[in-house]
Amino acid sequence: MNKARQEGQAPPALSRGSLVYKWVDSPVGRLKLVATDEGLAGILWATDGPGRVRLKIDAEDAGHPVLAEAERQLAEYFDGRRRTFTLKLDFAGTAFQRKVWHALLTIPFGETRSYAQIAKQIGSPAASRAVGAANGRNPISIVAPCHRVIGAGGQLTGFAGGLDAKAYLLALETGRAGVRQ
């Protein structure tokens, strides 16, 4: 926690692009929540390699309000009490990646889409592989639900958190994970 917050003072404002983080435990493993003052910038997996999502994280700040709200909403999601997130997001990526990530936000809870469907949705029907690459670099897992994107034949395909985590998230959303909906 930063010193100003420990002393009860308002923390200094982060300049846009300054990133802070906190770790949280979840049913799918430890997650690293990353934020700017503009919004949530990342939900990363403990197993993430350094090249999947490149964020220059400045400091740990477990009390940052964006991180605290993200943790609260994720806990509600995993407890079966939240179907949509109301967090302000601060995506960092190319224009194409951001277009794909915003398309992910339109996939309803409990439903899936194929890479081809996302490519068509964003106006690039021949870009299924590029959509897959952008999906794989999604910095805000779970909230920008890349786990809802599956292969054309309905099979589970690559996922940064691993296929077991992807299967768990999809089961959670369809009521097959033993949680109340």
Take residue 39 and report the two structure tokens written for it.
Answer: 């919004």
* Residue 54 one-letter amino acid: R
Q: CA dihedral defined by 145, 148, 152, 153, rounded to 10 degrees?
A: 160
Nearest to 31 by CA among 20, 47, 52, 45: 45
Residue 40, CA distances (Å) to 18, 53, 69, 119, 132 in order: 12, 14, 9, 25, 22
Whole-model pTM over 0.85 = no
At the top level of CATH, the class of 95-173 is mainly alpha
Domain ranges of the chain: 3-78, 95-173
H or E stretch including 20?
A: strand 19-24
pLDDT in tens, 35-86: 998 999 999 988 877 777 877 777 888 889 999 999 999 999 999 999 999 9
pLDDT in tens, 72-121: 999 999 999 999 999 999 998 899 999 999 999 999 999 999 999 999 99
User: Residue 146 catalytic?
Assistant: yes
Take residue 11 and report the two structure tokens written for it.
Answer: 């923390």
Of the candidates 19, 33, 100, 146, the residue annotated as catalytic is 146
Architecture of domain 3-78: 2-Layer Sandwich (3.30)
**CA-CA distance, 109 to 171, in Å (whole number)?**
11
pLDDT band, residue 179 (cuts 50/70/90): very low
Residue 145, CA distances (Å) to 8, 62, 139, 141 in order: 36, 24, 11, 6
